[in-house]
Amino acid sequence: MTLEELNRLPEQEAMANLAMCCGSSVWVGQMVKRRPFESEEQLIESGKDVWFACTRNDWLEAFSHHPKIGDVDSLETKFATTQEWAGDEQGSVASARRETLEKLARLNKTYEARFGYIFIVCATGKSSEEMLEIIELRLKNNPYDEIKIAASEQNRITKLRLKKLLS
């Protein structure tokens, strides 16, 4: 889809397309209201501005639209609309060693119990071992710092997905 096509989409179609980039309904609604975008850069910058003006609850809503790192079952069922993008983003997990996957699964549960939401990381270009190191480090964060880190990671994911939307 081109930027011009995104700008011209009926509101409901624009919302559905933008929801594939970020699962926050507030973010989607605000982005639709900001159309038309003059450039890809303006779209990306608007996405960032809207995202960081969102509330913690909006962030949590967006996080809930992601599969857990390495959770193949949820990729195939719950996240069917973004399965291809999420699969590409988590591609390195598919070839990970079993013990790495098991440790990721265990640390995902620990992370979720500690912070109340799933571990969010922009997985594109990262190996499963790198993601394992990242989650181990981030488990040491306090909740205040961690939500900001998770929100920044979501913003990175959204930026990549906006670019995919326009490709």
pLDDT in tens, 19-30: 999 999 999 999
pLDDT band of 79, cuts 50, 70, 90: very low
Homologous superfamily assigned to 67-165:
Oxo-4-hydroxy-4-carboxy-5-ureidoimidazoline decarboxylase (1.10.3330.10)
Choose among 57, 5, 58: nearest CA to 27: 58
Q: Does the reported pTM lie above 0.95?
A: no
Domain assignments of the chain as residue spans, ordered by start? 3-61, 67-165
Q: DSSP per residue over 25-66, as a string?
A: HHHHHHHHHHPPPSSHHHHHHHHHHHHHHS-HHHHHHHHTTS
80-109: average pLDDT: 67
- Quick check: 70 pLDDT over 60? yes
97-102: average pLDDT: 84
- Helices 25-34 and 40-53 pack at an angle, to 10 degrees, of 140
Mind telling me the catalytic residues?
A: 66
Whole-angstrom Cα distance, residue 157 to residue 121?
Answer: 8
What confidence tens digit (pLDDT) does each residue in 108-154 have? 999 999 999 999 999 999 998 999 999 999 999 999 999 999 999 99
